[in-house]
A and B are shown apart, each in its own frame.
Chain A
Amino acid sequence: MLSVNNVCLIPNEDNVFSHSFARGEICVVLGANQSGKTNLCRLIAGLNTRARGAVHLDDKSLEKLSPRARPVSMVYQAFVNYPNLTVFENIASPLIARKASNEAVSKSVTDLAEKLRIDPLLHRLPSELSGGQQQRVAIARALAQDAQVLLLDEPLVNLDFKLREALEVELRELLRASNTVVIYTSSDPRDAFTHGDQLLLLDKGKKIQAGPPLQVYERPSSPTAMALLADPDINRFYRDGKLCALRPEHIELVGAGPTSGNAVDFHMQVTAYETNGDESFVHGLVEGAEWVLRQRGMLPVNVGQTLQINAALRDVVQF
């Protein structure tokens, strides 16, 4: 178990928190830009960072250990590989540092390359690879280290859409099989559900909620936590002086007339409508606040019209 105690991710902000990451689980750390995700990774890896706090692995402090000595491997958001070394040498790098025998090195490298489907590229230089392949090499090198903690700092952000989806599926299978602590940072709520056994929500260096992703989704502790897991933003309204919120996917269009008692009704003044054929987003004003709703398929909506919408009572989250 990896635990961070009294961590302050962003200096000058008194948002000190503690958290534990279990072995054999993937914990997705979700937060917007500048929420301290990268600082958290750098703190755990022992790299130069402004974050402060204690890091323990199985009750042993890592504080005094240099990045070399820590049982931690890392994949950066940018594709970082040694440009003068071949793919084989890149993946072999952590093994060579540990003075593994030649047979052991070539066996692990070939195994990993096969798993990540870069085995035909072993003798190329990183500059001769596409972005997706470069990141596969970086992931293979991190896995080759067979460290007890694996940090993935937004590993797929710089990839284009299709490559990203392909690698997402493979990565999930690769990571599941290990007994390591895997920390996967992201700003995309979908990653929480595709990769995460556990979810840790960060906002401006503050831990706002943690737990299994679906549990956090169903019972968000604050509007910020709810908004972090919503795409696009959540819709806020007040009932009896209390702040309530609805996710954009939980709002329905109503044909005519009031609906049953299990639903709440609203009127929306449509300000914008966008669609890609598969999904549609309607933006508008409801009770003075800006709302957005998401629906499958295309909708018969015009800008300027007033829509009657409703949502099931059980989907309303009250704070």
Chain B
Amino acid sequence: MMNRPGLSRGVLIVYGLYLLLPLYWLLSMSLRSNADIQGSFSLLPPTLTLANFAEIFSNPVWYEGFANSLSYVAINTLISLAVAIPAAYAFSRYRFLGDKQLFFWLLTNRMAPPAVFLLPFFQLYSAVGLFDTPLAVALAHCLFTVPLAVWILEGFFSGVPTELDEMAQIDGHSFLYFFMRVFLPINRGAIGVTLFFCFMFSWVELLLARTLSGASSKPIVVVMTRTVSASGVDWGLLAAAGVLTVLPGVLVVWFVRKDLVKGFALGRVS
């Protein structure tokens, strides 16, 4: 085979540009005024303006949308990890009656589309007064993120030899000491990856978030879909909101980037 580094590099560059184009366009739109956007086509914004971002940070509808989203995403991620870490440890370390069935059942929750659960959640939350709170959305998302988190973490935890648990016992350490001082630090990467998956699911999920939130807990994805006013679509504002919506994901990816590859292999890489 002929060795043509120039060609392969060229292909990669073209592909990279293709992937980056929508992101660039979003960023460039967010920095323009509506007149600019709807005016003549130009690759670079003729005039740069931060007015769209200023609007988002000064209008409570917008920044509260972000705050609402971040709060239920944070609650969801915390609950998911708090529940999934002990569960995954149990699945990886103990054999008990029906363990395999239970593990599979957890996964089947991920096979149902979220829409199926809309009605029961809506009715249930209305009845117990949870409707229109961040906790409602967070709990609903847990139905999907907890099985995912258990599934990912179990793979990582099973890769840690049980001799290590026994070693700590023989050394005379309590289980809690071993778990906090050795086991969790070893699996830091796994937890980071799981956090990423929970965060992303909850952050981009629209259907449950929209149905279970009313006026006072409206998440940002919902705010964005409702910005079509009588005066038409506010393109620049929407783009600015889009940029801000992408940012948290980028930040999370940045922090767990080293462990992501392992995470996608579900921990089966040593």
Which chain A residues have a beta carbon within 8 Å of chain B's beta carbons? 45, 47-48, 66-68, 70, 72-74, 76, 78, 80, 82-85, 93-94, 97-98, 141, 145
B161 touches A68 (CB 8 A): no
Enumerate 6 A-B pairs (CB-CB under 8 Å) in ascending A order: A67-B169, A68-B174, A80-B164, A85-B182, A93-B171, A97-B177
Q: How far is the CA of A70 from the CA of B170 in the complex (A)?
A: 8
Q: How far is the CA of A98 from the CA of B174 in the complex (A)?
A: 11
Q: CB-defined interface of B164-191 with A at 8 Å, one 1/0 digit per residue?
A: 1011111111100100001001100000
Q: How far is the CA of A68 from the CA of B166 in the complex (A)?
A: 9
Partner of A45 from B161, B170, B174, B185 at Cβ < 8 Å: B170
A67 touches B166 (CB 8 A): yes
Give the residues in chain A near B163, CB-CB below 8 Å.
76, 78, 80
Q: Given A68-B172, A82-B164, A84-B186, list of 19 further CB < 8 A pairs? A: A48-B166, A66-B169, A67-B169, A68-B173, A70-B170, A72-B170, A73-B171, A76-B167, A80-B161, A80-B167, A82-B167, A82-B168, A82-B182, A84-B182, A85-B182, A94-B171, A97-B173, A141-B171, A145-B172
CB distance from A48 to the nearest CB of B (A): 8
Give the residues in chain A near B172, CB-CB below 8 Å.
68, 94, 97-98, 145
Give the residues in chain A near B170, CB-CB below 8 Å.
45, 47, 67-68, 70, 72-74, 145
Give the residues in chain B near A80, CB-CB below 8 Å.
161, 163-164, 167
Q: How far is the CA of A45 from the CA of B163 in the complex (A)?
A: 12
Q: CB-defined interface of B53-74 with A at 8 Å, one 1/0 digit per residue?
A: 0000000000000000000000
CB distance from A78 to the nearest CB of B (A): 6
Partner of A78 from B161, B174, B177, B186 at Cβ < 8 Å: B161
B171 touches A97 (CB 8 A): yes
Q: CB-defined interface of B148-172 with A at 8 Å, one 1/0 digit per residue?
A: 0000000000000101101111111
Give the residues in chain A near B171, CB-CB below 8 Å.
73, 93-94, 97, 141, 145
CB distance from A218 to the nearest CB of B (A): 37
In terms of DSSP, what is the predominant structure of the interface of chain B? helix
- Nearest chain A residue, comparing its CB with the CB of B188: A84
Give the residues in chain B near A85, CB-CB below 8 Å.
182
Give the residues in chain A near B167, CB-CB below 8 Å.
74, 76, 80, 82
CB distance from A46 to the nearest CB of B (A): 8
Total A-B Cβ pairs within 8 A: 52
CB distance from B238 to the nearest CB of A (A): 46
- Nearest chain A residue, comparing its CB with the CB of B171: A94
Give the residues in chain B near A47, CB-CB below 8 Å.
166, 169-170
Give the residues in chain B near A70, CB-CB below 8 Å.
170
CB distance from A93 to the nearest CB of B (A): 5
CB distance from A156 to the nearest CB of B (A): 17
The 7 nearest A-B residue pairs measured at CB: A97-B172, A67-B169, A94-B171, A80-B163, A84-B185, A97-B173, A93-B171
CB distance from B69 to the nearest CB of A (A): 34
- Nearest chain B residue, comparing its CB with the CB of A45: B170
CB distance from A67 to the nearest CB of B (A): 4
Q: How far is the CA of A93 from the CA of B161 in the complex (A)?
A: 18
Q: How far is the CA of A78 from the CA of B185 in the complex (A)?
A: 21
CB distance from A104 to the nearest CB of B (A): 15
CB distance from B93 to the nearest CB of A (A): 10
- Nearest chain B residue, comparing its CB with the CB of A138: B167
Partner of A93 from B166, B173, B174 at Cβ < 8 Å: B173
Q: How far is the CA of A93 from the CA of B166 in the complex (A)?
A: 13
Give the residues in chain A near B173, CB-CB below 8 Å.
68, 93, 97
Give the residues in chain B near A145, CB-CB below 8 Å.
170-172
CB distance from B29 to the nearest CB of A (A): 46
Q: How far is the CA of A98 from the CA of B170 in the complex (A)?
A: 12
CB distance from A44 to the nearest CB of B (A): 11
A68-B182 CB under 8 A given contacts A78-B163, A80-B163: no
CB distance from A69 to the nearest CB of B (A): 8
- Nearest chain A residue, comparing its CB with the CB of B175: A68
CB distance from A57 to the nearest CB of B (A): 15
Q: How far is the CA of A59 from the CA of B172 in the complex (A)?
A: 22
CB distance from B191 to the nearest CB of A (A): 13
Give the residues in chain A near B174, CB-CB below 8 Å.
68
Give the residues in chain B near A45, CB-CB below 8 Å.
166, 170
Give the residues in chain A near B164, CB-CB below 8 Å.
80, 82
Give the residues in chain B near A48, CB-CB below 8 Å.
166
Give the residues in chain A near B186, CB-CB below 8 Å.
83-84
